[in-house]
């Protein structure tokens, strides 16, 4: 079976070690692919003769300095202009938002700019108890949930660390003509229902730190406030029961 060919479409890296001397370079490349940018699976095929033989090579030391910087200043300024002029902007958090170093920057953004936020299941843990007044919940759970209503109310959507496979754009943005600001370590995969107006590509933490001073959102707008207030009132009633 062509195991490499089978795994290549569903992994970030797929290769076979075809000789003992190639062991270190293939494994190093696999770990590098799996851990950089957006983390993902890497596949290495080890034929039986390779597994039972000696690895005729030395370990390869990888560079420890592969971090990105913030998104370009011009892109940050345009993103801030869209957010500041919007009537009801909403943040959509994805998988990368749950990484601790990125989550801290997101929490600081929410506390300072009072932007409403929702998240995919993969973004669990990005929002702490302190930011709950701005959190609409998880999207895509059950139809007509508060988080989906809040996301639907946005006239600008700011996605942070989001990938389309987490919640298909056709389910939350089909037929909508509203700007999307894509903040991530990699460029967006363009689809019919996901074509960002601005892409802020770089280290998410540094990008958010650079974006925050440009934002002027001291209060929640009416639409978001109404959805969040209704959700928190329902939660309070359930807790009293």
pTM: 0.81
- Report d(CA 87, CA 81) in Å as an integer: 12
Q: Are residues 20 and 84 in the same domain?
A: no
Structural domain containing residue 129: 73-240
pLDDT digits (tens, 9 = 90+) for 120-162: 999 998 998 888 888 888 998 766 578 898 899 899 999 999 9
Q: Assess contact for 76 and 200: CB atoms under 8 A.
A: yes
Whether 15 and 84 map to the same domain: the answer is no
Helix axis angle for 204-211 and 100-113, nearest 10°, is 20
Is 82 domain-assigned? yes
In a domain, 164, yes or no: yes
Q: Residues 17-37: pLDDT tens digits?
A: 999 889 999 999 999 899 888
In a domain, 104, yes or no: yes
> Count of domains in the chain?
2
User: Are 24 and 129 contained in the same domain?
Assistant: no
The Cα–Cα gap between 30 and 62 comes to 12
Residues 77, 42 share a domain: no
CATH code of the domain containing 152: 3.40.50.1220
Are 105 and 224 contained in the same domain? Answer: yes
């Amino acid at each position: 079976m062509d195991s490499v060919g089978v795994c290549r479409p569903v992994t970030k890296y797929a290769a076979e070690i075809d000789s003992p001397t190639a062991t270190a370079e293939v494994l190093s490349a696999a770990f590098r692919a799996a851990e950089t940018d957006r983390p993902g699976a890497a596949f290495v095929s080890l034929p039986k003769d390779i597994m039972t033989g000696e690895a005729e090579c030395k370990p390869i030391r990888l560079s420890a300095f592969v971090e990105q910087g913030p998104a370009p200043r011009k892109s940050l300024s345009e993103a801030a202009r869209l957010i500041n002029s919007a009537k009801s902007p909403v943040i959509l958090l994805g998988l990368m938002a749950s990484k601790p170093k990125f989550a801290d920057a997101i929490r600081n953004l929410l506390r300072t700019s009072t932007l409403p936020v929702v998240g995919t299941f993969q973004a669990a843990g990005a929002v702490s108890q302190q930011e709950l007044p701005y959190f609409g919940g998880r999207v895509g759970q059950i139809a007509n949930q508060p988080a989906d209503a809040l996301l639907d109310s946005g006239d600008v959507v700011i996605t942070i660390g989001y990938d389309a496979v987490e919640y298909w754009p056709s389910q939350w943005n089909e037929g909508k003509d509203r700007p999307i600001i894509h903040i991530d370590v990699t460029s967006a995969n363009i689809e019919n229902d996901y074509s960002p107006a601005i892409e802020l590509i770089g280290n998410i933490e540094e990008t958010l730190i650079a974006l925050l001073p440009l934002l002027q959102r001291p209060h929640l707008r009416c639409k978001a406030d109404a959805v969040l207030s209704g959700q928190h009132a329902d939660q309070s009633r359930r807790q009293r029961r």
